[in-house]
Amino acid sequence: MAGQFVTEVNDAEFEKQVLQSETPVLVDFWAAWCGPCRALAPVVDAVAEEYNGQLKVMKMDVDRNNMTPGRYGIRGIPALLIFKGGKVAEQIVGFVPKDTIDQSLKRVLVQETAQVRA
C-alpha cells in the first residue's frame, strides 16, 4: 500500500531508517483494515512526491509492528509522525486534508533550512 516515493519500514529498521536519517522523515502509522488509513494513503503518496528530496516518507503497518507504535504512544490510526534529528517534531492523528500535513511539514522544513543557513 505504498506509492512510488513511499517506503515501508518495520520495527527492526526503524532506528536506522528514521531516527538516524539525515533528512526529516514522515512516518504514516496505518493498518489494512483501517478505512481512514486507506483514505489518507493517496494524500500521503502526494506529499511524498511533492517533497521528494527534502523529506523521506515511510509507512509502518501497526499490525505487523507493535514495538515502535507502542514506543511512540500510537493509540489511534492513521497517525503521522514527523521525525527530525531522531525526535518527533510534529504529530497528526486521524484523517486530515493535505493542507494540514503541508503546514506541519513547512514548520519542520523551515526549521531545517534555518539551521542549514546558521
18, 25, 34, 58: which one is catalytic?
A: 34
CB-CB contact of 19 with 13 (8 Å) = no
Q: Is 34 a catalytic residue?
A: yes
Q: State the Cα angle at 10 between 29 and 52, rounded to 5°.
A: 65
CB atoms within 10 A of CB 74: 19
Cis peptide before 78 (omega within 30 of 0): yes
Active-site choice (6, 26, 37, 81): 37
The span from the CA of 107 to the CA of 46, in Å, is 18
The Cα-based distances of 89 to 4, 81, 101 in angstroms read 25, 8, 13
Task: Please indicate whether residue 37 is annotated as part of the active site.
Answer: yes
Task: Just list the catalytic residues.
Answer: 34, 37
